[in-house]
A and B are shown apart, each in its own frame.
Chain A
């Protein structure tokens, strides 16, 4: 006697497999979306987590700037700094601790400098297109034979004369440290005390104002930065990062706050550079843009 064991019909199996496929597809998309969301959120939080202390650090550096007419300020628009295309550089004296030489009495002042390293030397690959800060602690000694470890150099000696590495993104200096490994684009401009924005740190409409003169006309330094999280960054080569950086334009004089970030975001949304267009969209989407006003201590008006 034949014994029949009941089983699923072919139609049932087909329907089940179809449902399973649909469910799997939906779930995979759900998980994928969740993963992307989680990943993006993680990247954002990573960027935020790194940029906030950096911005706080910079805020202190700027707030503590030694604002005296007889002390030099190196930056965009100054005689030494010039117009600065691409990543900007800035250097000034500030009352913050720094990296002091091994001998000498430590003064409360340091030479602070910021730049994005662009050295193509193989030895500098780890710092290439990364935001660096120099805090060179100055000593009290007036008799230092190494003047770049010595006391504050007052005018007419310029920062760029003594601490030459501040003048070029490609110049390396062991005193520079990576302050923002995610920051690959750094641009800044000045908020003047008359309420306008400028690429020169003084108000030319005022008679006799043609130099920083203790930054008397500057209320704040407005810095814009672009960051790329570490997970995205490992997927790019240094030249690719530099290429992306190159598509983010310089600040145009007279533009207000937010304008620069809008231009940068537009450049990332619709890249015109073929190399950038070829990059995965997820990487471009991971680039985060920041702009912050760093207010200086007030100067009497």
Chain B
């Protein structure tokens, strides 16, 4: 059989060419496969990137939701705790767990922590954030939980010293457990649940009980200048807290303050090598706001930094704020100061500048500024002060005439007729003048007692030595006017003046803090009592203020468990003042400050741990708890009130919530209780939320959300 010529292979084609078509087809297949694989690879990568972005967003949203839940729980605790708090222990957030070794820690998410009512439990499951690693190996080490140094560090190990950088906490700190979140919200799990979308763990610290480093601390920490030490020792602002009590060195304090107040403290030298004069007057002037018009409010908001006019390369000085804790950590690292001091230092403090005693929180618009007493600096008062004196004190000056010495007439805010009674303070948001305010605080006192206290307060801050007396109307209009006497260095020449104590201490200067009101006398005979549990004068501590800014920064919670913070405030306080620059002034020593602070916190009856302070009026009780550590005399023991009352507060819950949130899921094969730790983490987010909650209004005074990147 012969092949048809039509189907004969073309001439010239050999056997090598027979597979060409196959090769070409295979080449196309390879090419197409490569293209498809490349495309799939690219889309897979793209999808993974998108997934990562999605997971990060999920973790972020989960973290913010968790913070909202925690804050809502605290607000509920406030609501359920009553306003005013009932019982009084509800003035502070309830603590869960045994945190004796970690005084800053208020609460954490932990399976065994059951805070007493009205606190809300955390819904933590039995999966620990440190000990139980996730299925993909994610865990939060204890050292990471202490990245902020708010937990005391463990003792240095072999080969380490106190200056070795590490954040490992003491063994007593048990890291938080995870709170799992399903589509129904936080849920306590006993076995894996496919509805879980993520988890979070948190610890809450009492940042309001720390020293706000935006205000605290004074320079020239090793100054021996007597005048400067006395100025600092009279306290009045948190800036006069002695940071060396926290373990910081003199150089560290000077470097901190030199950086913070580079303009207003005017240090010499440069960053990390600042030096100060023995009496840095610019620093004092800035924090005490001296030099303003007489009677004007001292309302500097220390949370606002102002760059001075003329700031330029040729004039580059400006103050700085420690904006958040991350910056504080960077500052510590840069200046290499003691890590252990960090547990006493914060960056966020706020207080609604309003009293809490009795019904004062609603009746009064705010506290009475001590600066108003400056209107009495000179006697007779300048014409510019007279209207202010009547508006703010209800007094009219009467010059001496014949045998009648100069004095004041109590006529009230308006008019010129003598009053026989003191108007009552009622309504809400009132700003009464001095005497109605004193009567409001001391409701059982007579008008004579009230006016005598007022006269004595004027004697304390006026510049002369003559005893002030105030004329007021007798209840019977036909009777002659009555007199109320203060106490000054010179006894009154009036025949009907009461007998005076053998020794009196008269400041003859402006009040520095509300505690100094204790130098005033009642009825010209007994001084006010700010150092006993039975004090009836204590409400005054809550009704006056040196700094009128609202909200006020640079405050410390009187209910702090961190006694080292209180010790820093107390250290260096003047325990025996003097009106003579040559006289010896006594100060509260470090030992006395530490002992007093420990008593204030831990005294089983009077201490704040057992019996929290509900307002600044409780400072008298705290002075009773720790005052004996400062000395035996009334003045020495009241140094506690002079140091603490002005910078102390009780109405704000200043919290720092340290929260870690992880988005993720449980694998399908995780079903038993033993599988509970086998969570698959997709993404993680950590926040430090600084928040100031007003205990009485439940309002957020301020907050700051600080993302933590590790």
Contacts and interface: CB of A to CB of B under 8 A. Distances in A.
Given A49-B46, A70-B306, A106-B330, A143 B707 contact: no
A156 B311 CA distance: 10
B44 to A, nearest CB: 11
Given A142-B271, A151-B318, A95 B324 contact: yes
Contact of B330 (A45, A52, A107): A107
B318 A45 contact: no
A154 B214 CA distance: 14
Contacts of B701: 300
B43 A45 contact: yes
Nearest to A66: B323
A24 to B, nearest CB: 16
Nearest to A148: B313
A300 B68 CA distance: 12
A56 B683 CA distance: 15
Indicate the size class of the contact surface on chain A. 35 or more
Contact of A108 (B43, B312, B318, B330): B330
Contacts of A52: 49-50, 53
Contact of B316 (A63, A64, A109, A150): A150
Nearest to A72: B307
A146 interface: yes
Contact of B327 (A56, A107, A150, A153): A107
Interface residues of B, number: 47
B320 interface: yes
B270 A141 contact: yes
A99 interface: no
Contacts of B306: 70, 154-156
Contacts of A144: 316
B27 interface: no
Nearest to A157: B307
Interface string B425-454: 000000000000000000000000000000
A69 interface: yes
B259 interface: yes
Contacts of B138: none
Contact of A68 (B35, B323, B707): B323
A216 to B, nearest CB: 10
Nearest to A6: B6
A49 B47 CA distance: 10
A153 B323 CA distance: 13
A163 to B, nearest CB: 13
B417 interface: no
A152 B43 CA distance: 43
A48 interface: yes
Interface in A58-80: 63-64, 66, 68-70
B317 interface: yes
B42 interface: yes
A105 interface: yes
A109 B323 CA distance: 10
Contacts of B270: 141, 143
A9 interface: no
A37 to B, nearest CB: 11
Contacts of A143: 262, 270-271, 316-317
B706 to A, nearest CB: 8
Contact of A147 (B46, B304, B312, B326): B312
A91 B307 CA distance: 19
Contacts of A146: 313
Nearest to B46: A45
B327 A142 contact: no
In the A-B complex, the 3 residue pairs with the smallest Cβ-Cβ separation, listed nearest first, are A142-B262, A300-B700, A105-B334
Interface of B: 5-6, 35, 39, 42-43, 46, 49-50, 53, 56, 258-259, 262, 270-272, 304-307, 309, 311-314, 316-321, 323-324, 326-327, 330-331, 334, 700-707
Interface of A: 5-6, 38, 41, 45, 48-49, 52, 56, 63-64, 66, 68-70, 95, 104-109, 140-147, 150-157, 297-301
Given A95-B326, A109-B323, A155-B304, 19 more contacts: A5-B5, A6-B5, A38-B39, A45-B43, A68-B323, A95-B323, A104-B271, A108-B327, A140-B271, A140-B330, A140-B331, A142-B320, A153-B307, A154-B306, A154-B320, A154-B321, A155-B307, A157-B307, A297-B705
